[in-house]
Amino acid sequence: MYNFFDSNQYVNMRQRLERLKPNAQRMWGKMDAAQMMAHCSLQIEMALGKLTSTNESTFFSRNVVRRVLPFLNKIPMSTKTGASLVVADTRNFEIEKKRLLDNLERAHLNTAKGNWYPHSAFGNLSGKEWGHLIPLHLDHHLRQFSN
């Protein structure tokens, strides 16, 4: 199980992100590596309240999918991106990498007991739930680029 607040897992996520290269080829999806990092930053910024999330939730996502999340080890490749987290414009790889690393640090330092904001699809999540979802999501995208 992912626990973003565990120092070893946090360091592992940062190291995997540091190894990502601008020319990394995606194995699925539409985003390039810079867009993917911007996308992951948006999720963390939503969690920290730096980005106002639009409610895209459904009864099913808030009450069923949210309850399954703690048991997931991988996000399926076919999972659709919520409209508020789509990144389609061109992004600078180095700027987005720094942004994501900074956001990861802020989220990690927020701790499970910190102030967390709702997810656009799953509604209110606890710090513990965000602590599972952030690395689960990042792992999904790092695997997308064979990292």
- What's the confidence (pLDDT) of residue 48? 97
d(CA 69, CA 131): 11
d(CA 1, CA 91): 32
- What's the confidence (pLDDT) of residue 52? 85
Instruction: Report percent pLDDT > 70 for the chain.
Output: 100
pLDDT above 90 for 2 = no
Q: Which helix (H) or strand (E) holds 12?
A: helix 7-19
- 3 state DSSP class of 100: helix
- What's the confidence (pLDDT) of residue 83? 79
Average pLDDT over residues 105-114: 96
40-92 pLDDT, tens digit per residue, is: 999 999 999 998 888 888 898 898 888 888 888 888 787 888 878 899 999 99
Average pLDDT over residues 100-129: 95
d(CA 134, CA 129): 9
- What's the confidence (pLDDT) of residue 46? 95
pLDDT above 80 for 1 = no
122-133 pLDDT, tens digit per residue, is: 999 999 999 999
d(CA 32, CA 88): 9
